[in-house]
Structure formats: C-alpha cells, structure tokens
Structure 1
Amino acid sequence: MKICDTPLTMLTEENWIHADKQLLAKMLQEFIYEEIFVPDVLSEENGIRTYKWEDKKGTVYHFQAKTRLFDSVSVLPDSIRILKNDDKDIPIALSLLLSIQEEGKMSGSTTGHLVREYLHTLLADTHIQEKSKTAEKLVYLDYAELEGEMTGHPWITYNKGRIGFGYDDYVQFAPEQKKQVNLSWIAIHKNIGTFHSVEELSHDQVIDQELGEEARQQFTKRLQAMNVQPEHYYFMPIHLWQWNQSIVPMFAAEIAKQELIPLGEGGDEYLPQQSIRTFVNMSNKEKYHVKLPMSILNTLVYRGLPGERTVIAPEVTTFMKNILENDSFLKDECRLGLLGEVATMNVDQPTFQAVKGAPYQYLELLGVVWRESIYNELKDEEQAITLASLLHVDHEGTPFVSKLIEKSGLTVEEWVNKLAKAILPPLLHYLYQYGTVFSPHGQNTVLVLKDYMPERTIMKDFVDDVNVSDQPFPELKGLSDRMKQVLRSEEPEGLTQFILTGLFICHFRYLSDILEEKEGFSERTFWGIMRGEILSYQQRFPHLQERYQLFDLLRPTFTKLTLNRNRMFDYGYEDDDDRPHASEFGVVTNALHAGVAEKTGKVEAK
C-alpha cells in the first residue's frame, strides 16, 4: 500500500479532539479510583464534586465528577479545564500522563512506551467514531458482528495499544475494522507438536470438520510433493500476522528440517472477536471458534497461548462440564452453557524452552484452541450478546442496554432483576459448591436474551481463566496432578476477586452508572438487586454456610485491584517469565455490603 492509499479519512481534527477529551475523562476517573493521583475537592452539590489538581509544573486540572459507589467517580468530559498547560501540541490525555510522571513514580521508559499505547488507542478511537452504528441497529446484530462494534476494555485506559501491529495490520486485523479473513494452515511434524482433545475427539475428526475434504486433499498432496509422509504431520491453522512476525523468524530451523511446512489458506471466512486472536467462522457458524496466538502486547499482556494451559484445556473442559452435567441446579434451573475448548495443539520453541527465566511471550508462540461454537448452544428464539455490549453507548449518546430494555417491554428494575438471575446463580454455585471460578468479565461472559430479556448465561475461555480454591474441598479431589500444577490455586479472597473485581468492578460498576445516568435508575437499587440475588442463593443452599463466610462477597471492604497502576508503577514493560497480574493497592468499599445497597424486597438470609 502506497502512502497516499493509506485510509486516513477518519483522522479529522474534530474526531481527534473528541477522542482525546473522552480518553482524558476516562483517565481522570480511573486514576482517581486507583489513587494514582488525589485531587482536591473544591465543592460538592447534589452528588457532583468539583475537583482541582495541580501538577509539579503548575498545570492545573479543573473538572467535575459524579460520585459513585465502589469509591468511584464518573467524570463529566465537558467540565474539564486545563490551565497553564504549556504543551499546546501534546494531546490533553497525554499531558495528564506527563503530569503523573512529574510526581516521580513513573520511569521515562515506562512513560514513553505508555505514550505509544495511548496514541494507538486514540487512533483506534477515531476509527470507531467514524464507523459506529446506532444502538437501534445494534440490537439486531449477530453475536459475532456485535463484538466488532465494541470500544475496548472499560477500565484499562490504554485499551487498544496493540504493540506489534503496524497501521496496515490494524486496518486489516483489528476487530473494529469488521473485516473477514481466511486463516492460514501449516503442517506440524508429530515430533515437535502435540494434539490434545476431549476423550471422544481425534485430530482427524477436527480437521475433517474444519478444513473439509477438498482442502485436506490439497494440503496432503502438497506434503507428498515435498517428499514427506503426510501421516507424520498434524494440520493446524495459524494467523498470517503471527506467521510473518514470529514463526518464520523463530522457527526457521524447524522449517529448514521440514518439521514445519506452510500449506496455504483455508476456504472459510472468519471474523475476529474482541480479543483479536479469537475467530468465529462466518462461512459455517456451526464450526469451531478458533483461538490463535498473536504476539502483540495489549491490555497488560502479550496475546499468545500459554503452552502448559493450552495442553490441559480439554481436560479443564471435561472437569467443568462434568460439574455441569451432574448438577441439576446448574443444568436444569440455571441452564448454564459452557463453550468447551475441546481440542488444542501446542508447539514449543525448543531454545526458548531451554532458557531459564525466558520472557513468557516466547513460550506462547505457536498453538491453537478449538472452542465449541456459540451458535450450537443457542435454543430457538435465543439471541447471544457479549456481556461487554451492555456498556456500549452509541455516538448519539444512547446506551445499547437502554434499547434492549425498551424493546423488552419491561421496566428497568424488572430487566435488571432478570439480569441478576441470569448471571449470578451459576457463578455463585461454581464458587461455593465447587471452589471453582470463571473470570466472568465482559469478554468471557455471553448473555443469552429472549425477546430482548436476559434469559441465561454462557461462559467461555477456560484455557486462561478457570481457577480453583486452595482449600481441601472434597469437590476438588478429582483434579489431576497436572491440573493442580497448571491451574491457579487461590486463597479465599483471591478466588472471590474473580467475581468481586472481574464482574462487579470491571463491568457492573459501569453498567449501574449508565443506568443511573441515562435511565434515572438508582445505582443503590441496582446493587440492592445484586445483593438480594446473592442472599436468595444463600438461602437456597443453607448447607454451604461456612463457605459463604469463607468466600464473603458481602464484606464491608475488600482489597482493591488496580490495572492502570500495574502498568504505570509496578510492572511497567518488564519482560518476565510470567504474565503480570493485577496490582493490589488499598481497599475499596463494597456496594454489596448491608447498609450500602437499598433494600429491594428480597428476604435477608438468616
């Protein structure tokens, strides 16, 4: 692509200024939540505070914000005023970052890399403004297409950094570009690659479904023409970007020895999802969703596939599904859906494996996860949406969730009650009865609607986000030694954090804000409904009382996990042998604690 052919029409001054102001507002409110800076409160009236913060260079930030539960605020973008800002050519969002650096807690190296992630995020935000659909149109979109309309992580401020992508890569592969792609295929010699699956599934069955007979024969003939034995090889898909950026340079020896052979492109069209590395087959929606490693740095981590977790993903799937199939509450009452990771492949780079303390990104280069299709899980008249979509507000200021509520014919309170009933009971049951958690943030949780009303939940992403209790529960005795070694084993508060932070802080904190701001629905009532649903569950299963105290979701405070602070101060851009985890800083007041949330007519547990 020549430079004058570069698609730049969305890069107008108006779009840039709007994206910059919105990002600054997000940074202000999340930095206040994480106590990255502590502004002075000049006044407060009707729940709106006027703030002032002055950096060490004399730049003054004036803004207003509405106070929210969970010690949060919602900044009003149009209220922001910056005084004595000498850096007129610097985006205002990045001026705040430089002001934070002046406080002396962030290195020049970290700040410089972070500037790059923010600039990438701003560029993506200008694209999204130009291509966004109205909430009215979004309610009719297919699940896979809706994911391409999302705007990124609600809490992490540098949420579309995607370090490793060039602009041409961004235009071709970013989910918000909504471009369907063909997956490439390679042959992996069985000496260097491993295949793993649930008991009833073989590699041949997977390939027969995913490739089809014609493509499989074509690839087999290519191997025969190279004078190698096809039966000595596995077939596996790969992303073109990963092939060019990581596989050819770092698996050159394996290519030279014909242990890794490029085969060509498959015929099916795939649509990238929010995570960028997961793809839905749009040519045949009943085929597997495909998760592939892409060694880009985005929202804290490199987006590879950890080898040890990829290997055991089918075993984790079997464990989680056995719980579901043998528990009538989960299966028949909650009607929980699980998208199993039924087959995987892993290929280690041998030299990196031999390096002690090698950066984790080099241990996640080549593999694949075949996940069951969401479309095979849906019943008649059911519609699946990513939970993240409930936080989407269109360019006209209309929330997606408002349109769903309007079309459902329910009141906001009735709709939120159904939402709580659809999501919380299965998550609580896995936690309390089985000492096991998903990470139920907006990207992993699929909300199933019927007539625009919350009906039930489908969970996904077991390879990264299933974790177990460190307590000696009899329900966990069936874990194999390999699973015990690989799955994260968490102490009680750490395990509850996957719900407290993953769902409540990372998602419902924003949803309750939207509903109060746009629908006039009190956030205290919202959290009262969530508290009531937890209490109703606890009354239903009184034999778990000790575990309710152990995994206390209703405590007055809990440890505050921070995501922006992790990058800025704690982990930075280090290249360690393990993925960075959320930092801990201070405590947060729990909106689910008695006396915070309003009574909603639910009976309190005895």
Structure 2
Amino acid sequence: MTLSTGCHSEQDKYNRIQKLANEKLKQSETRILNKLMQAMIREGLIQYTYETTEENVKLIYITPVKNVKITVPIENSYFLGQLDIGGRITVKKEGSTTHIHTPTQLIKELFPKVDSRQLELLINELEDSVKNDALALTAEELQKDLYSGIGTFEYLHRQSSNPEFSPLVFLEQSVIEGHTLHPCSKTRLGLTGEEVMKYAPEWRGEVNVQPVAIHKDISSFSTVKGGPTMTEILLKEYPAIELGMKRQFKELQKDLKDYEIIPVHPWQFEHIVKRYFNEELKQGLLIPIDMTISSQPLISFRSLAPHNRRHHHLKTALNVQMTSAKRIVSPTSVWNGPVISELLNIICSQDPEIKEKIHFLSECGGGHYRSHRRETSINLEKNLSALIRENPEKKLEKGQIAVPGAALINTSPVSEKVLSLEIIEKWSIERNVSVEAAAVHFIHEYSNTLIPGLIHLIVKHGVSLEAHLQNAIMIFENDCPKTLMIRDNGGIRILKQRLPVQFQDGRISNKTNLLTTEAVDLYKMFSHAVLHNHLGEIIVGIIRETGISEGLLWEQVTEVIQSTIDSIKEDAAHCKNASQFEQEIFGPVTYLKSLIKMRLSDAFTENVYINAPNPLTRKGNTDEVTICKNQLA
C-alpha cells in the first residue's frame, strides 16, 4: 500500500508532504537534539556534573569552556544510563541564557574551538537526519485513521490470506524511530526528499529492482557449499528474467552461459551504474535485463522483500550514507555471508539445543563486480554487488507472525499503541492479571526466547551474533514469542579457538575483523546488541508507558541468563567457558558501543566500547516480584 495524500499530481503530492514535513521540523530537531545529548553523556564524550535541586528537579551541567554553562533538565534516568530529557536545554554565557534548539547549535556550543573536518561531517549528517526524521513523522501521520477498531495481530492475520501481503514487511515499514541510540538514525545523504519518499520503507512504496547480467570475466560469485547460486535462485523464482534474457541475448548475439545476474537497487542503477560502469555497459560486459523485480523496502532501506512470502530477500548495494556508513556491499561480505551461513548450519546440525532455539536466515549467495579497472571517487567492487537471503516467512506455520524486534518499540499504525504494550495489555485482559504482572510475564517469555540460544552459541561455539532490534525477528504464535530468527552475518564476532574443525582452514575472511582471539569480544557484542540495543530499549519503552518498576523487569532477564548458564555448566566440556561468561555478564559493567566517538574518529568500522551500568546486578522490589508471580500462578 502506497500512502496517498489525495493530490492529483506527483508534484502536488510532494509539495503537500513537504509542507507537512516542515511543520514537523521543530519536533524532529528536538528528537535528534535529545538523542545527540544523551549519546554525548552516555558515551563520556563530555564532562558534566549532576544535581538534584530542593524542588527535586534533576539537572546536568556542562561547562565546555570557561564562563559557558549548558543545563540539561532530566525527567527520568534508567538502569542502562538512558535519559529522558525533560524540557529545554539551555546555554548561559555573557550574562544571558538562551535555548538550544538544534543539534547543530549543541555541537557548536560543546566544541566552540575545535575546527574539525569530522565535526563538520557530523553536523551535516545530523541536519540531514532531522530533515528525514520530519519526513518519517509525516509518513506516520498520514497512516493514522487508515486502520481502526482492530488489534495489530488480528489485522495481520486477516490480511495474511492475501499471498502478496507480508506481515513482516508491514511491521518493518511501520518502524519510524529507526536506530534507537544513534542521533544520525535518519541520515540519508545522497537522496533528495523525493527519493526518500520513493524508496524509504515508511512510505510503503514499490522498489523496482533492476537485474543486471554481468560477464563472468569481470565478476565473482559465492554460494553456500553445494547450494544454488544467486543467479540460479533468481531465475527459478522469476522465470520472466530468463525469458527476457534469452530474447535480449539472441538479439545481442551473446551467450547466456557467460553471464551471472546481480540485482541492483534502482537508485544505484541510475546514479552509480550508468555513470561509473559506462565502459562495461558499452562493451556488453554489463547488460541490464528488460524487466524489473517488484519489491518492498525493509528497515535497513537497501534490503528488499519481494511480493511473495517464499521468495528470497535481496540485500543490494546503495551508495547512500545512513547513520555512519554508505550502505554498499563489500566483496568480503559477499564471500563471508554464505561461508558463515555454512558455519551456523554446521553448528545447528551438531547442537540440537541451538537448532531448537534459533533459526539462522541463510545468506545463500552473492556476487560483485571484479576488475583491475580503478575509479578514484568510488570503490567499484562494493558498488555493484548484492547478497540474497532466506525469507523469514518461508517456513512459518499457520497462525505465526514474524515480528522484527524494532517494531516492538514503535507505535503500530493499526492500534496507535506501542506494539509491546499492546501485546502486554492483551495478555492482561485475556489472563485476568494486572498490566504489571502481564509485563513481567512478557519480558520473561521474550527473554527466554531471545537469550538462551545466543548464550549457547557464545559459550559452546565461540560465535556472538549482533542480535539487536533490527537483526532479530521474533516469531509470535497466539500472541506469544516462540522462536528467534537472526539475519545479517556482517556484524558478528567469532572466537578462532572455538571454531569447528571444518573452519580451521582460513575460509572466513578477516578483512572486517570478524575473527578474534579474545573471549571478552563475544560478550561485548552480546552486551551492546542484546542488553543495550534490544532488551534495554523494549524495557524502557514499557516503563515509559506504564511506570512499572524497572528492576522487576530486569530481574526476569537475570533469571533467564542465570538458568541458561547453569544448564550449560552441567556439561563438563563447557563448564569453564560458561563460568567465564557468567563472570563477565554479572560483572560491574556492561559495554555500550560508542557510536559518536567512532564517527568522530572515522573509525566506524572498528567497534569502540565504553563502560555502562549493569542492570543485571540490581534487584527489583521483593514484594512486587511476589505479587506478580502469585497473579501468574
């Protein structure tokens, strides 16, 4: 469903949307400003003092230079260090006090004497994030009142009778917030406003992927061992591609056997392929096929789902900067994706406990341009490349819904409630318990579906997945979390010494530092992705809406983690590794990825972590725990 504004022309439509977006700009400036301020404080990039006034008002004071004081009012703070900013941020200097309205103002006040190219880039990215956040809020506004008087899951089940409707896609495109921790969550440098509306997931538009035939002499392809290639998969799922190729190639007097296929995002084809690969196009080494694949954009923007719940998802290259990096697909990713899928499949075949708890979405194959020709302004190999990934909905049973983690912290356009809270309220009514008891039960069940398999994978096999809200998909059945699915093999850490013997031969490329010799790196990945950027955000969202004790919810997470470690310890072969993980996870700190520090140092491909509080070592109110457990008994 493409959003409609009731206008008669595309230009009228864009003008009206831009007007609505301009009305959202102040709201977006505040949203991104507060996210930036929080990141600066949590990542320790600035020195500050904290005070609670006699009126019980909490304030943070920052003095970037002499005789300048920035004041940040704090409404709430949480176990992991998240902050709710409770009003205007002000700056006092030269005897007067003024409000800070924008992220750019804040950067200039915090770093008035720093002349840095990285700061200039960050300011540009923040301003773009504000602009696109306003567009996203406009898309959200236009969806209101389209669905009414029905629950989200009920709506999705009803629509599922249409084979072209995907509940997963619907939920992914309902995510407005994006990255919860990064102030540049809506940065889309390189796209115009019209292009954002055309290709961004929240606008629910069509993305017509361009298949491009590429000669085998200038390409490199990978596949899961013994599995079909990306070309073979595409030709099987889209027979019209093969028919079109046969007609074209006959006219061009080319041999089909000499070519493979790379799916290309339409923006990438128009702006990058036509411009930088003109030589190969003229020589017939690249041949655009006279048809397109109709698809829908997912949360990650450049990952696309077809109108068939069984067909593979496409991860395309897009030379557009989002958060801190351009979303191209490197040759290393093309190689490692299928190889790591093989590794995970081997682990599942050897470890029934992991196979039962997690379904790894295989990156079945990929390909990229390969040539000695060089282009100074862009990396050609990374800009004509793609991966093909298993569809999460392919193996779902009747009544199951695939829910991306990020959808749980966003407002559903159907119910106009935060989705996790909508589920909790439904549990409360159906089970005749308080909302608090339902929330406790929800977090326990959700944690028990999310966490155990990930810990087994770390402790027994030395693999830590980046299971944050964007990569984790939870399968719900009867409104309850049942199975975890994980996608994207890029953000992963593997401990060399625990690799199965099949992977000791150097098959995994370490150009992106996937491999490590330090076990603590596995925990750091788990800490940031699972505790901070997954459970932490779900829990804070529930607390903001209900006022439930945070300690009560974190206690459920602690209980699941402890019971998982205890069960692994029963096997003498893994007892030592389990004890080591236990010591780390119940230690004094957790680890938070320092996203702004990484951006300012231009080291966004290297993980930089800072210490953060550990919510697993704080206890909830004993009476509250007893009351909730009694209700659920």
With normalisation by structure 2, the TM-score equals 0.84
Distance 1:375 1:416, change over 3 A: same
- Name the CA distance, whole Å, in 1 between partners of 2:230 and 2:476: 34
1:350 maps to 2:381: no
1:475 maps to 2:491: no
- Name the CA distance, whole Å, in 1 between partners of 2:384 and 2:279: 15
- Per the TM alignment, residue 400 of structure 1 is displaced from its structure 2 partner at its CA by 1.8
Residue 566 of structure 1 is matched in structure 2 by 598
- Per the TM alignment, residue 158 of structure 1 is displaced from its structure 2 partner at its CA by 1.1
- Per the TM alignment, residue 562 of structure 1 is displaced from its structure 2 partner at its CA by 0.4
**CA offsets, 1:162-189, max 9 Å, x none?**
1121223212111122101221111111
Residue 581 of structure 1 is matched in structure 2 by 606
Distance 1:48 1:412, change over 3 A: farther
AA in 1 matched with 2:126:
Y
1:504 maps to 2:521: no
Are the counterparts in 2 of residues 236 and 368 from structure 1 also a CA contact under 8 Å? Answer: yes
- Name the CA distance, whole Å, in 1 between partners of 2:237 and 2:56: 55
Residue 109 of structure 2 is matched in structure 1 by 99
- Name the CA distance, whole Å, in 2 between partners of 1:118 and 1:548: 42
Are the counterparts in 2 of residues 188 and 236 from structure 1 also a CA contact under 8 Å? Answer: yes
Distance 1:197 1:43, change over 3 A: same
Distance 1:598 1:592, change over 3 A: farther
- Name the CA distance, whole Å, in 1 between partners of 2:107 and 2:382: 31
1:115-130 mapped onto 2 (5 Å cutoff): 115-130=123-138
Are the counterparts in 1 of residues 104 and 123 from structure 2 also a CA contact under 8 Å? Answer: yes
- Per the TM alignment, residue 88 of structure 1 is displaced from its structure 2 partner at its CA by 8.9
1:265 maps to 2:291: yes
AA in 2 matched with 1:109:
R
- Per the TM alignment, residue 210 of structure 1 is displaced from its structure 2 partner at its CA by 2.9
Out of 50, 62, 66, the position equivalent to 1:53 is 62
- Name the CA distance, whole Å, in 2 between partners of 1:304 and 1:224: 33
Out of 375, 382, 394, the position equivalent to 2:393 is 375
Residue 434 of structure 2 is matched in structure 1 by none
Residue 407 of structure 1 is matched in structure 2 by 426
Are the counterparts in 2 of residues 340 and 372 from structure 1 also a CA contact under 8 Å? Answer: yes
Residue 73 of structure 1 is matched in structure 2 by 83
**CA offsets, 1:208-244, max 9 Å, x none?**
32321x3321222112211222221112311121122
Q: Secondary structure at the match of 1:156?
A: coil
Residue 274 of structure 1 is matched in structure 2 by 299
Distance 1:547 1:4, change over 3 A: same
- Name the CA distance, whole Å, in 2 between partners of 1:4 and 1:438: 45
AA in 2 matched with 1:297:
Q
AA in 1 matched with 2:398:
D
- Per the TM alignment, residue 300 of structure 1 is displaced from its structure 2 partner at its CA by 1.5
1:15 maps to 2:34: no
Residue 556 of structure 1 is matched in structure 2 by 588
Q: Secondary structure at the match of 2:178?
A: coil
- Name the CA distance, whole Å, in 1 between partners of 2:97 and 2:19: 21
- Per the TM alignment, residue 40 of structure 1 is displaced from its structure 2 partner at its CA by 3.0
Residue 35 of structure 1 is matched in structure 2 by 44
AA in 1 matched with 2:250:
Q
Out of 301, 305, 314, the position equivalent to 2:325 is 301
- Name the CA distance, whole Å, in 1 between partners of 2:58 and 2:316: 46
1:126-165 mapped onto 2 (5 Å cutoff): 126-132=134-140, 133=143, 138-139=152-153, 140-141=155-156, 142-150=167-175, 151-165=177-191
Are the counterparts in 2 of residues 418 and 454 from structure 1 also a CA contact under 8 Å? Answer: yes
Distance 1:116 1:394, change over 3 A: farther
- Per the TM alignment, residue 527 of structure 1 is displaced from its structure 2 partner at its CA by 1.7
Q: Secondary structure at the match of 1:127?
A: helix
Distance 1:137 1:95, change over 3 A: farther
Out of 265, 268, 274, the position equivalent to 1:242 is 268
Distance 1:362 1:233, change over 3 A: closer
AA in 2 matched with 1:69:
F
AA in 2 matched with 1:117:
E
Q: Secondary structure at the match of 1:243?
A: helix
1:522 maps to 2:553: no
1:25 maps to 2:47: no
Residue 73 of structure 2 is matched in structure 1 by 63
Are the counterparts in 2 of residues 196 and 344 from structure 1 also a CA contact under 8 Å? Answer: yes
- Name the CA distance, whole Å, in 1 between partners of 2:412 and 2:523: 33
Residue 547 of structure 1 is matched in structure 2 by 577
Distance 1:108 1:162, change over 3 A: same
Distance 1:484 1:308, change over 3 A: closer
Are the counterparts in 1 of residues 75 and 85 from structure 2 also a CA contact under 8 Å? Answer: yes
Distance 1:350 1:550, change over 3 A: farther
1:419 maps to 2:446: yes
Distance 1:584 1:375, change over 3 A: closer
Out of 492, 507, 511, the position equivalent to 2:519 is 492
Show structure 1 runs of 5+ residues with no match: 573-578, 602-606
- Name the CA distance, whole Å, in 1 between partners of 2:205 and 2:621: 46
**CA offsets, 1:272-304, max 9 Å, x none?**
11111100112x221110111111111122211
Residue 338 of structure 2 is matched in structure 1 by 314
- Name the CA distance, whole Å, in 2 between partners of 1:484 and 1:509: 32
Are the counterparts in 1 of residues 317 and 382 from structure 2 also a CA contact under 8 Å? Answer: yes
**CA offsets, 1:302-321, max 9 Å, x none?**
21111022123222212201
- Per the TM alignment, residue 204 of structure 1 is displaced from its structure 2 partner at its CA by 5.7
- Per the TM alignment, residue 558 of structure 1 is displaced from its structure 2 partner at its CA by 4.3
AA in 1 matched with 2:36:
M
Residue 171 of structure 1 is matched in structure 2 by 197
AA in 2 matched with 1:400:
L
1:187-206 mapped onto 2 (5 Å cutoff): 187-198=213-224, 199-202=226-229, 205-206=232-233
AA in 2 matched with 1:567:
R
Distance 1:236 1:391, change over 3 A: same
Distance 1:7 1:350, change over 3 A: farther
Residue 164 of structure 2 is matched in structure 1 by none
Q: Secondary structure at the match of 1:170?
A: helix
- Name the CA distance, whole Å, in 1 between partners of 2:391 and 2:74: 45
Q: Secondary structure at the match of 2:508?
A: helix
AA in 2 matched with 1:402:
L
Are the counterparts in 2 of residues 437 and 467 from structure 1 also a CA contact under 8 Å? Answer: yes
Residue 180 of structure 1 is matched in structure 2 by 206
Q: Secondary structure at the match of 1:66?
A: strand
Distance 1:75 1:405, change over 3 A: same
CA RMSD of aligned residues (A): 3.1
- Name the CA distance, whole Å, in 2 between partners of 1:549 and 1:47: 42
Q: Secondary structure at the match of 1:309?
A: helix
Distance 1:117 1:206, change over 3 A: same
- Per the TM alignment, residue 28 of structure 1 is displaced from its structure 2 partner at its CA by 2.0
Q: Secondary structure at the match of 2:585?
A: coil
What count of residue pairs does the alignment treat as equivalent? 579
Q: Secondary structure at the match of 1:244?
A: helix
- Name the CA distance, whole Å, in 1 between partners of 2:128 and 2:171: 22
Out of 338, 346, 359, the position equivalent to 2:360 is 338
With normalisation by structure 1, the TM-score equals 0.87
AA in 2 matched with 1:457:
L
Are the counterparts in 2 of residues 272 and 279 from structure 1 also a CA contact under 8 Å? Answer: yes
Out of 397, 406, 409, the position equivalent to 1:391 is 409
- Name the CA distance, whole Å, in 1 between partners of 2:399 and 2:476: 9
- Per the TM alignment, residue 262 of structure 1 is displaced from its structure 2 partner at its CA by 1.5
**CA offsets, 1:418-470, max 9 Å, x none?**
001110011111111111121101111001111222112111112x1232114
AA in 2 matched with 1:148:
Q
- Per the TM alignment, residue 258 of structure 1 is displaced from its structure 2 partner at its CA by 1.5
Are the counterparts in 2 of residues 562 and 583 from structure 1 also a CA contact under 8 Å? Answer: yes
- Per the TM alignment, residue 83 of structure 1 is displaced from its structure 2 partner at its CA by 5.5
AA in 1 matched with 2:78:
R
Are the counterparts in 2 of residues 531 and 597 from structure 1 also a CA contact under 8 Å? Answer: no
- Name the CA distance, whole Å, in 2 between partners of 1:295 and 1:323: 34
